[in-house]
Protein backbone atom coordinates (compact mmCIF):
# COMPACT_ATOMS: atom_id res chain seq x y z
CA UNK A 1 0.00 0.00 0.00
CA UNK A 2 1.37 3.39 -0.91
CA UNK A 3 0.43 6.81 0.45
CA UNK A 4 0.63 10.09 -1.45
CA UNK A 5 2.01 13.24 0.03
CA UNK A 6 2.46 16.35 -2.16
CA UNK A 7 2.71 14.25 -5.31
CA UNK A 8 5.32 11.82 -3.91
CA UNK A 9 4.60 8.18 -3.13
CA UNK A 10 5.67 6.75 0.20
CA UNK A 11 5.52 3.17 1.39
CA UNK A 12 3.34 2.82 4.47
CA UNK A 13 5.29 1.13 7.24
CA UNK A 14 3.42 -0.59 10.01
CA UNK A 15 5.15 -0.90 13.32
CA UNK A 16 5.74 -4.46 14.47
CA UNK A 17 6.31 -5.00 18.18
CA UNK A 18 9.78 -6.26 19.01
CA UNK A 19 8.25 -9.40 20.44
CA UNK A 20 7.22 -10.44 16.91
CA UNK A 21 10.53 -9.68 15.23
CA UNK A 22 12.25 -12.69 13.82
CA UNK A 23 15.53 -13.33 12.10
CA UNK A 24 15.16 -15.68 9.16
CA UNK A 25 17.09 -18.94 9.32
CA UNK A 26 20.13 -19.31 7.09
CA UNK A 27 18.48 -22.11 5.12
CA UNK A 28 15.12 -20.31 4.84
CA UNK A 29 15.25 -20.00 1.05
CA UNK A 30 16.16 -23.66 0.54
CA UNK A 31 13.42 -24.73 2.97
CA UNK A 32 10.81 -22.67 1.13
CA UNK A 33 11.91 -24.15 -2.20
CA UNK A 34 11.66 -27.65 -0.74
CA UNK A 35 8.17 -26.93 0.57
CA UNK A 36 7.18 -25.58 -2.83
CA UNK A 37 8.46 -28.74 -4.51
CA UNK A 38 6.55 -30.94 -2.05
CA UNK A 39 3.37 -28.97 -2.66
CA UNK A 40 3.86 -29.23 -6.41
CA UNK A 41 4.39 -32.99 -6.14
CA UNK A 42 1.21 -33.43 -4.09
CA UNK A 43 -0.74 -31.38 -6.63
CA UNK A 44 0.57 -33.59 -9.45
CA UNK A 45 -0.39 -36.65 -7.41
CA UNK A 46 -3.96 -35.40 -7.08
CA UNK A 47 -4.42 -34.48 -10.74
CA UNK A 48 -7.50 -36.12 -12.19
CA UNK A 49 -9.10 -36.67 -8.79
CA UNK A 50 -11.56 -34.73 -6.67
CA UNK A 51 -11.07 -33.76 -3.02
CA UNK A 52 -14.20 -35.74 -2.13
CA UNK A 53 -12.86 -38.85 -3.85
CA UNK A 54 -9.50 -38.58 -2.07
CA UNK A 55 -11.23 -38.08 1.27
CA UNK A 56 -13.52 -41.08 0.79
CA UNK A 57 -10.52 -43.27 -0.11
CA UNK A 58 -8.67 -42.00 2.95
CA UNK A 59 -11.65 -42.86 5.15
CA UNK A 60 -11.91 -46.34 3.62
CA UNK A 61 -8.22 -46.95 4.24
CA UNK A 62 -8.49 -45.63 7.80
CA UNK A 63 -11.48 -47.87 8.51
CA UNK A 64 -9.56 -50.86 7.18
CA UNK A 65 -6.54 -49.96 9.31
CA UNK A 66 -8.71 -49.80 12.42
CA UNK A 67 -10.32 -53.14 11.59
CA UNK A 68 -6.96 -54.84 11.07
CA UNK A 69 -5.68 -53.36 14.32
CA UNK A 70 -8.71 -54.83 16.09
CA UNK A 71 -7.66 -58.24 14.80
CA UNK A 72 -9.88 -58.68 11.77
CA UNK A 73 -8.37 -60.43 8.77
CA UNK A 74 -7.85 -58.75 5.42
CA UNK A 75 -10.56 -60.98 3.95
CA UNK A 76 -13.06 -59.84 6.62
CA UNK A 77 -12.20 -56.20 5.99
CA UNK A 78 -12.62 -56.68 2.23
CA UNK A 79 -16.09 -58.13 2.78
CA UNK A 80 -16.90 -55.24 5.12
CA UNK A 81 -15.88 -52.46 2.73
CA UNK A 82 -17.20 -54.05 -0.46
CA UNK A 83 -20.70 -52.47 -0.09
CA UNK A 84 -19.09 -49.04 0.29
CA UNK A 85 -17.02 -49.61 -2.85
CA UNK A 86 -20.16 -50.59 -4.74
CA UNK A 87 -22.03 -47.55 -3.39
CA UNK A 88 -19.30 -45.22 -4.70
CA UNK A 89 -18.66 -47.11 -7.95
CA UNK A 90 -18.42 -43.82 -9.86
CA UNK A 91 -15.20 -43.06 -7.95
CA UNK A 92 -13.55 -46.35 -8.91
CA UNK A 93 -11.50 -44.77 -11.71
CA UNK A 94 -10.30 -41.99 -9.37
CA UNK A 95 -9.38 -44.43 -6.63
CA UNK A 96 -7.60 -46.69 -9.11
CA UNK A 97 -5.60 -43.71 -10.34
CA UNK A 98 -4.58 -42.70 -6.80
CA UNK A 99 -3.71 -46.25 -5.75
CA UNK A 100 -1.65 -46.81 -8.88
CA UNK A 101 0.26 -43.56 -8.29
CA UNK A 102 0.84 -44.08 -4.58
CA UNK A 103 1.47 -47.81 -4.33
CA UNK A 104 2.52 -48.76 -7.85
CA UNK A 105 -0.36 -51.14 -8.57
CA UNK A 106 -1.24 -51.34 -12.25
CA UNK A 107 -4.01 -48.89 -13.18
CA UNK A 108 -5.57 -51.15 -15.83
CA UNK A 109 -5.54 -54.12 -13.46
CA UNK A 110 -7.36 -52.09 -10.82
CA UNK A 111 -10.02 -50.96 -13.26
CA UNK A 112 -10.64 -54.50 -14.49
CA UNK A 113 -10.63 -56.10 -11.03
CA UNK A 114 -13.92 -57.32 -9.62
CA UNK A 115 -15.28 -55.33 -6.66
CA UNK A 116 -14.25 -57.98 -4.11
CA UNK A 117 -10.67 -58.08 -5.39
CA UNK A 118 -10.54 -54.29 -5.42
CA UNK A 119 -11.68 -54.39 -1.78
CA UNK A 120 -8.93 -56.93 -1.00
CA UNK A 121 -6.35 -54.60 -2.58
CA UNK A 122 -7.60 -51.65 -0.49
CA UNK A 123 -7.56 -53.75 2.70
CA UNK A 124 -4.05 -55.04 1.92
CA UNK A 125 -2.80 -51.49 1.40
CA UNK A 126 -4.31 -50.49 4.75
CA UNK A 127 -2.59 -53.42 6.48
CA UNK A 128 0.68 -52.40 4.81
CA UNK A 129 0.21 -48.86 6.12
CA UNK A 130 0.01 -50.22 9.66
CA UNK A 131 3.25 -52.15 9.17
CA UNK A 132 4.97 -49.10 7.67
CA UNK A 133 3.84 -46.89 10.58
CA UNK A 134 5.08 -49.45 13.12
CA UNK A 135 8.48 -49.60 11.42
CA UNK A 136 8.67 -45.79 11.38
CA UNK A 137 7.81 -45.63 15.11
CA UNK A 138 10.34 -48.36 15.87
CA UNK A 139 13.04 -46.52 13.92
CA UNK A 140 12.20 -43.28 15.75
CA UNK A 141 12.90 -44.91 19.12
CA UNK A 142 16.48 -45.58 18.05
CA UNK A 143 16.23 -49.26 18.88
CA UNK A 144 16.47 -50.37 15.29
CA UNK A 145 20.31 -50.36 15.40
CA UNK A 146 20.44 -52.43 18.58
CA UNK A 147 17.72 -54.92 17.59
CA UNK A 148 19.01 -58.45 17.07
CA UNK A 149 18.93 -59.74 13.54
CA UNK A 150 17.17 -63.07 13.22
CA UNK A 151 17.97 -65.18 10.21
CA UNK A 152 16.29 -68.35 9.19
CA UNK A 153 18.34 -71.54 9.00
What confidence tens digit (pLDDT) does each residue in 104-114 have?
A: 888 888 888 88
Positive or negative, the CA dihedral 15, 20, 26, 32 is: negative
| Residue 61 forms part of a structural domain | yes
| Residue 134 forms part of a structural domain | yes
| Dist. CA 121–CA 123, nearest whole Å | 5
Q: What pTM was estimated for this model as a whole?
A: 0.63
Percent helix, strand and coil across the chain, each to the nearest 5 = 65, 5, 30
Q: What stretch of H or E contains 43? A: helix 28-45
| Residue 59 forms part of a structural domain | yes
Residue-averaged pLDDT of the chain: 82
| Residue 122 forms part of a structural domain | yes
51-101 pLDDT, tens per residue?
998 899 889 989 988 998 898 888 898 899 899 988 988 988 898 888 888
Total count of domains within the chain: 1
| Residue 8 forms part of a structural domain | no
111-140 pLDDT, tens per residue?
888 888 888 888 888 888 877 777 777 777
| Residue 125 forms part of a structural domain | yes
Domain that holds residue 84: 49-140
| Residue 148 forms part of a structural domain | no
| Dist. CA 85–CA 107, nearest whole Å | 17
Contact (Cβ atoms closer than 8 angstroms) between residue 67 and residue 122: no
Amino acid sequence: MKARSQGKEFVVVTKVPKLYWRIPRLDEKARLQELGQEEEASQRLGEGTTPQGRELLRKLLFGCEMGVREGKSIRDMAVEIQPQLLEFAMLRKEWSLLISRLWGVGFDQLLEARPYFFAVIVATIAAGNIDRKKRREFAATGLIDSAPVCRGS
